């Protein structure tokens, strides 16, 4: 681990100020990715600004149209909440192991935008809105590439607002060691249409329009059984080839729809 200045922010405004004053600062939420990255010397920052003391960034609140989850809310808290959609709670309950779920945060996960993370599938699959200290960003505009998002320098996620689905389900094929999704599919029937989001298969979470159209006419696992995605551009590594992941997209989509009922 390289040397850095550790700073603990007392408020959101304090975090913004500390981040702006640092020559190469980064934010610490749950630390489930950042700490191992620093320990392995894969990154070097002048300052690490700890957000964990900002209580305003934690918590879950529901209203008639959906639920807003604070950026620092732990995975375990989402998993245990009766206010979030059941599919989102189940997704959170399948992240990593108990240690990870009790440390990792929603905001940290989506800001990191790991291609195999679970939360991006829920954010995109439910058509959520990512709220920051500066603006609100639609899910379709938030994830832009491999470990890349629409966040600008100095912009901090404060919460995510999830609309309430009519039906929703999530299914993933986890790496047996890390529990990251080799492929995960979130399928949701919303008031304005169907959304199908895939994580783990490509460099970035993505939607499958053909499956969405099929499910809009017939919400059943059979409706997507014959639909496949191209292996072109999908991830390929020692855990699975691009062709294998393409096959898993259809398998997980069927399971996600079945889980939604």
- In this structure, the answer to whether residues 76 and 157 fall within a common structural domain is yes
- The pLDDT value recorded for residue 39 is 95
- In this structure, the answer to whether residues 212 and 196 fall within a common structural domain is yes
CATH of the domain at 44: 3.30.43.10
Contacts of 255 (CB under 8 A, 6+ apart): 169, 171, 185, 221
- The pLDDT value recorded for residue 103 is 97
- In this structure, the answer to whether residues 84 and 37 fall within a common structural domain is no
- In this structure, the answer to whether residues 159 and 174 fall within a common structural domain is no
Q: Which of 163, 135, 168, 161 is nearest to 149 (CA)?
A: 135
- In this structure, the answer to whether residues 151 and 176 fall within a common structural domain is no
- The pLDDT value recorded for residue 218 is 97
The residue from 144, 163, 182 where one domain ends is 163
- In this structure, the answer to whether residues 64 and 30 fall within a common structural domain is no
CATH of the domain at 99: 3.30.465.10
Residue-level length of the chain: 261
CB-hemisphere CA count at 13 Å for 248? Answer: 25
DSSP character string of the chain = ----EEEE-SSHHHHHHHHHHSSSEEEESS-TTHHHHHHTTS---SEEEE-TT-GGG--EEEETTEEEEETT-BHHHHHH-SSS-HHHHHHHHTSS-HHHHTT-BHHHHHHHT-TT-SHHHHHHHTT-EEEESS-EEEHHHHEEETTEESPPTT--EEEEEEEPPSEEEEEEEE-TTT--EEEEEEEEEETTEEEEEEESSSSS-EE-HHHHHHHHH--SHHHHHT-----TT---BTTB-HHHHHHHHHHHHHHHHHHH-
How many domains would you assign to the chain?
3
Partners of residue 25 on adjacent β-strands: 47
- In this structure, the answer to whether residues 27 and 12 fall within a common structural domain is yes
- In this structure, the answer to whether residues 176 and 246 fall within a common structural domain is yes
Residue 101 CA from chain centroid, whole number:
13
The residue from 163, 194, 210 where one domain ends is 163
- In this structure, the answer to whether residues 240 and 208 fall within a common structural domain is yes
Q: Rounded to two decimals, what is the model's pTM?
A: 0.96
- In this structure, the answer to whether residues 70 and 97 fall within a common structural domain is yes
CB 53 within 8 A of CB 10: yes
- The pLDDT value recorded for residue 64 is 81
The residue from 137, 163, 189 where one domain ends is 163
- In this structure, the answer to whether residues 113 and 194 fall within a common structural domain is no
Q: What is the mean pLDDT of each run of 10 residues along the chain (261 residues)?
A: 96 97 96 95 96 97 93 98 97 96 97 97 98 98 98 97 98 93 98 97 98 98 97 96 98 98 85
Q: For residue 206, which phi and psi values (nearest 5 degrees)?
A: -150, 160
d(CA 88, CA 105): 14
- The pLDDT value recorded for residue 65 is 85
Residue 219 CA from chain centroid, whole number:
24
Q: Which of 216, 48, 202, 239 is nearest to 120 (CA)?
A: 202
CATH of the domain at 183: 3.30.390.50
- In this structure, the answer to whether residues 155 and 75 fall within a common structural domain is yes
Domain extent for 159: 58-163
């Amino acid at each position: 681990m390289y040397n850095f200045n550790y700073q603990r922010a007392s408020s959101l405004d304090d975090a913004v100020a500390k981040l702006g004053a640092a020559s190469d600062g980064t934010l610490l939420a749950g630390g489930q990715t950042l700490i191992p990255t620093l320990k392995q010397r894969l990154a070097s920052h002048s300052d690490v600004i700890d957000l964990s003391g900002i209580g305003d960034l934690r918590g879950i609140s529901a209203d008639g149209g959906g639920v807003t989850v604070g950026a620092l809310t732990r995975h375990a808290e989402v998993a245990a909440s009766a206010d979030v959609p059941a599919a989102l709670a189940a997704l959170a309950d399948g992240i990593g192991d108990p240690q990870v779920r009790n440390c990792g945060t929603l905001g940290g996960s989506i800001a990191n935008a790991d291609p195999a993370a679970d939360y991006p599938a829920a954010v995109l699959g439910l058509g959520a809105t990512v709220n920051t200290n500066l603006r609100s960003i639609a899910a379709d505009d938030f994830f832009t590439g491999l470990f890349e998002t629409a966040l600008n320098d100095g912009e901090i996620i404060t919460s995510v607002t999830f609309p309430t689905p009519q039906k929703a389900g999530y299914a993933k094929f986890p790496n047996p060691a890390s529990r990251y999704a080799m492929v995960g599919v979130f399928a949701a029937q919303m008031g304005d249409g169907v959304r199908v989001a895939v994580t783990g298969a490509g460099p970035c979470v993505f939607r499958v329009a053909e499956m969405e159209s099929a499910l809009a006419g017939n919400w059943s696992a059979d409706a997507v059984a014959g639909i496949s995605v191209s292996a072109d551009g999908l991830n390929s590594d020692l855990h699975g080839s691009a062709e294998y992941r393409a096959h898993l997209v259809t398998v997980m989509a069927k399971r996600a729809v079945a889980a939604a009922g």
